């Protein structure tokens, strides 16, 4: 054991802390970006041409904003957004500070995923709901989010997995977590076993997310 993992063996506590930091960053930013992304995804679908609340100005503004934010490479976004992070959190270092760029990095991506999931819903079903006198709010909750739920869950799984990956990038510039351990200890000090173990823990996290996501999607698709 000592031969195989000479450095990891002395870092048990550090790994446990780093794992929790990664989980904390992933899930808190997933929840906040999830709400923003879901709202924007719905907004894109209802405001598009022939949507239930067609509005070309809102649509094109949202569409372009999402496109621009999605185009910024995450490592650059981290740097560009630092003043805003500092303004909101009071610092740019640490897991809580990392939430700001993580949220901005992922919500545009998630908005597109939600939009695509909702576009899969048969417009005829929406039309039928309109013909029955459903209000736009009723259609959003009872038709779009309900009929699209399995696809939204799949998109969410995919998004959370991407988010884990982003937390490691954030880790490289001082956010903590497994990315930080892998890079600033494992890579910088030539302690290869640290890097490998960090990677393995991340893989376990990702598999767990995938399995939970698949189960949930199946559960809501039992028809």
Partner 1 sequence: MADSIIQLKDISVIFKDEQKELTAVKDVNLEIEKGDIYGVIGYSGAGKSTLVRVINLLQKPTKGTVQVNQQQLLDLDESKLRQARKKIGMIFQHFNLMKSRTVLNNVEYPLLRESISKSDRQDKARKLLELVGLAEFENAYPDQLSGGQKQRVAIARALANDPEVLISDEATSALDPKTTMSILKLLKHLNQQLGVTIVLITHEMQAIKTICHNVAVMEKGQIIERGPVASVFTEPQQPLTKDFVDTSTNVKEALARIGNDPQISKLDENQRLITLSFVGQSSKQSLISELARKLNVDANILFANVDQIDGISVGTMIAILTGTPDTLKQAVSLLTENGVKITEVKSSALKEDVAND
Using rule CB under 8 A, residue 188 touches partner 1: no
Q: For partner 1, give the closer residue by CB, 90 or 133.
A: 133
Site for partner 1 in 112-141 (CB under 8 A): 122, 124-125, 127-135, 138
Q: For partner 1, give the closer residue by CB, 41 or 101.
A: 41
Binding mask 69-108 vs partner 1 (x if CB under 8 A, - otherwise)? ----------------------------------------
The dihedral built from the CA positions of residue 26, 31, 34 and 36, taken in this order, carries a sign that is negative
Q: For partner 1, give the closer residue by CB, 59 or 109.
A: 59
Using rule CB under 8 A, residue 6 touches partner 1: no
Among 28, 39, 149, 216, binds partner 1 (CB under 8 A): 149
Among 147, 159, 185, 205, binds partner 1 (CB under 8 A): 147
Nearest to 67 by CA among 5, 112, 101: 112
Q: For partner 1, give the closer residue by CB, 53 or 93.
A: 53
Among 56, 65, 67, 142, binds partner 1 (CB under 8 A): 142
Read off the DSSP letter of residue 174: I
Q: For partner 1, give the closer residue by CB, 79 or 128.
A: 128
Give the footprint of partner 1 on this chain (CB under 8 A).
122, 124-125, 127-135, 138, 142-143, 146-147, 149-150, 220, 223
């Amino acid at each position: 054991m000592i031969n195989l993992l000479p450095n990891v063996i002395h870092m048990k506590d550090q790994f446990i802390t780093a794992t929790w930091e990664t989980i904390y960053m992933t899930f808190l930013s997933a929840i906040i970006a999830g709400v923003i992304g879901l709202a924007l995804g719905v907004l894109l679908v209802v405001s598009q041409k022939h949507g239930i609340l067609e509005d070309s100005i809102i649509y094109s503004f949202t569409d372009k904003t999402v496109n621009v934010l999605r185009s910024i490479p995450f490592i650059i976004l981290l740097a560009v957004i630092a003043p805003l992070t500092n303004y909101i959190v009071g610092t740019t270092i640490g897991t809580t500070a990392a939430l700001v760029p993580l949220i901005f990095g992922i919500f545009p991506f998630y908005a597109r995923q939600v939009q695509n999931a909702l576009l899969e819903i048969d417009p005829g079903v929406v039309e039928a709901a309109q013909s029955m006198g459903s209000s736009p709010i009723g259609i959003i909750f009872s038709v779009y989010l309900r009929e699209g739920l399995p696809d939204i869950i799949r998109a969410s799984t995919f998004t959370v997995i991407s988010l884990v990956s982003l937390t490691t990038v954030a880790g490289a510039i001082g956010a903590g977590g497994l990315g930080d351990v892998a890079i600033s200890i494992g890579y910088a000090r030539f302690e290869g076993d640290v890097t490998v173990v960090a990677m393995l823990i991340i893989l376990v996290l990702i598999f767990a997310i995938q399995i939970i996501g698949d189960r949930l999607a199946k559960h809501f698709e039992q028809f």
